[in-house]
Structure 1
Amino acid sequence: MKRSLALVTAAMTAALLTSCSSGSPSSDAPAGGATDNGAQSEAAGDGELRSIKVGVIPIVDTAPIYLGDAKGFFEEEGLDLEIVETSGGAAAVPGVVSGSFDVAFGNTVSVMVAADQGLPLKYLTNGLATTGEDPDVGAVLAPGDSDIESAGDLAGKTVAVNNLNNIGDTTIRTIVEADGGDPSTIEFVEIAFPDMPAAIERGQVDAAWVLDPFKTGAMDAGAKLVANNFAEFDPELDIAGYFTTMETFEEDKELVDAFTAAMTKSLEYAAENPEEVRDIVGTYTKMPEEARAAMTLPRYRADFNREAMQKLGEAAVKYGSLDKAPDLDALLP
């Protein structure tokens, strides 16, 4: 029996938009205030910790940093971590460039586009990758009674994505063309992820690219799977990671090395402890336990797959999001 779409959407919207104002899910974690890059703050204990401000979206994708903070991995590396909520790559990139954040979480095409526009950015670690199979963390969905059955059927249709010229429409165009459709005939429109389930049900769009937890909610409400665009693009595709400015990377080795070590440990721990991932998500969002149990978790890993990243960059050039292929030697660790 279908769930009430209003209830599903309300729960999922709360999951995305609600997070701890301090950014730390641990009640005994150091409070830590915002400081200029290079400043230090005292923490409970014998030594002093280096303050670091990291901008993230409070969703399942970023669970490892919250988990690592709760486990003390950042403190072990001498860092007093402050997690600051952002709305996504559009806010994360200027936040890092302006110095509001030391590091931020952003999807790979957003960072490629910023670099293409002359903003020198550098990834420190990966953040998450596609599962490479069905179910995946993101998928293209259509109404249950739609005649859209596969990626090629999206040609000539209206498809919702959260941002234009980004990882969503780039991967969708690629899999549509691979399935025999003409990607140039797709009309992409911007709709926020929380609003996509309702847009599908009302027929506002023919299909929508939806991420978990909204994907699971929409399918529970009757939407059907058309394609797993990440997994079908490349089963090793990396989706987003943690980046800083090239200036910070080159001039603040202490901070870079400490964050990289702590974040790597956090990603490895999350990969090995999926139930703790589900639990920690409940500490910085209001996602109910039932939804957390049902959601699809991504693969968490610190290293990037360069072949898949190169393929993504070439696709972004082909479909007009980038002027030239990204310099992966400059962009990746």
Structure 2
Amino acid sequence: MSHRQFTRRTTSAVAGLAVVALAATACGGDDPATGGGGGGGGGASEMTTVTVGTLPIANAAPMYLGIQEGFFEEEGLEVEETVAQTGNEIITGMVAGDYDFGFVGYISAGIAAARGIPVCVLTASDATGTSPEDDWQVLVTSGDSPIDGPEDLANTTVSVNGLGGVAEVMLKAALDKAGVDWSTVELIEVPFPEVPAAVAAGRIDAGYTSEPFVTTVLDQGGKVAFAPQSYIAPEYPNGSYAASQQAYQEDPELMERFEAAMTRSLDFARENPDAIREIIPTYTQIPADVANRMRLPVYQSELQPEAIDEQMGFMETYEIVEEAPSADDLICGE
């Protein structure tokens, strides 16, 4: 990828990650009995405990389904998951040696790598829908709002969950594609769970949010005004499972086993949406009624290097990082 130069800005998406880079060379790996390092000397017949940092959202459901279906056990893996609240927290934990693997977005992994944090993407996970009718991470607004598409967003106030993060990057890229001047849109921070109330109170013209909060807005009489990520491309890659570069280099055989189990889990999840809806309430606070109605992510098991490259380019274009990694830089072993 070519990289253009400009002034670096600090963003909330990477606050605190720089400290991890300083400690990266001191990370463990000396005690294989306590974590993922235990897979190097044995075959799949020997059970190895792996630690995974994950999020309490529907996107993470395939891993739980794979555990339930025995896909990890068949690879000789026992998964010990820890639920975090942000991708930033997961990346920090991976590089510190707390997690063998982590569920993170490509943008989050790319920002970390651009800041010198030694992480790499191991497997695919989830993608957007195909349209405003089925996408699960979208711009919502009130039912009587005049906003019905990207052309109506100029000179409006729109919320994203974090400035300098995935939502801002994808919204600007989609507006560029639609020929809308994104500099005319005022962006403010509103966490995803607070978007329904902000829309109902008229504090924002539109809000970027994810399920189950999209369903909450629809239940309140609101509507989906724009689906930025699926507007860029249908089934546009969103999340992945990553590892630290050190963990990947120290035990590639363990990485292969985890990748194989995740691939089976993702393929199974894609073909069994009812099983996904049933398992979501077991590890999230999403009620069964909402899980049965909400829009599901599209699960994909194959990495999409061209789309990852495009997303890394967006990070430079919108001045999130000075120089972004390429897909080859970001994908483990490439």
TM interval, short-chain normalised:
0.7 to 0.9
Determine the structure 2 residue equivalent to 1:91: 89
TM-score (norm 1): 0.84
Q: Is the 8 A contact 2:120 2:243 kept in 1?
A: yes
Structure 1 residues 248 and 143 mapped into 2: Cα distance closer, same or farther (>3 Å)? same
1:104 and 2:76 are equivalent in the alignment: no
Structure 1: where are the runs of 5+ without partners? Answer: 1-33, 41-46
CA distance in 1, matches of 2:245, 2:286: 36
Determine the structure 2 residue equivalent to 1:283: 282
CA distance in 2, matches of 1:84, 1:102: 11
Q: Is the 8 A contact 1:176 1:183 kept in 2?
A: yes
Structure 2: where are the runs of 5+ without partners? Answer: 1-32, 40-44
CA distance in 1, matches of 2:285, 2:247: 34
Alignment of 1:239-318 (within 5 A): 239-318=238-317
Alignment of 1:10-159 (within 5 A): 35-39=34-38, 48-133=46-131, 134-159=133-158
Instruction: Note the C-alpha offset of 1:35.
Output: 2.7
Q: Deviations over 1:79-110 (max 9, x none)?
A: 11101101021211111111111100011111
Determine the structure 1 residue equivalent to 2:229: 230
Q: Deviations over 1:23-69 (max 9, x none)?
A: xxxxxxxxxxx9344248xxxxxx64111100110111000000011
Alignment of 1:178-197 (within 5 A): 178-197=177-196
**Sequence identity (%):** 36
SS of 2:164 mapped into structure 1? coil
Between the two proteins, the alignment pairs up a number of residues equal to: 295
Letter in 2 for 1:216: T
Instruction: Note the C-alpha offset of 1:219.
Output: 1.3
CA distance in 1, matches of 2:60, 2:248: 21
Letter in 2 for 1:211: S
Instruction: Note the C-alpha offset of 1:114.
Output: 0.4
SS of 1:204 mapped into structure 2? coil
Q: Deviations over 1:267-313 (max 9, x none)?
A: 11111111111111122224223211211112111112222222222
Q: Pairwise CA RMSD of aligned residues?
A: 1.8
**Greater CA drift, 268-277 or 307-316:** 307-316
Q: Deviations over 1:220-247 (max 9, x none)?
A: 1122211111100121410011000111
Q: Is the 8 A contact 1:237 1:309 kept in 2?
A: no
Q: Is the 8 A contact 2:312 2:326 kept in 1?
A: no
SS of 1:189 mapped into structure 2? strand
CA distance in 2, matches of 1:232, 1:332: 25
CA distance in 1, matches of 2:308, 2:151: 23
CA distance in 1, matches of 2:114, 2:185: 25
CA distance in 2, matches of 1:332, 1:273: 28
Q: Is the 8 A contact 1:268 1:300 kept in 2?
A: yes
Q: Is the 8 A contact 1:238 1:308 kept in 2?
A: yes
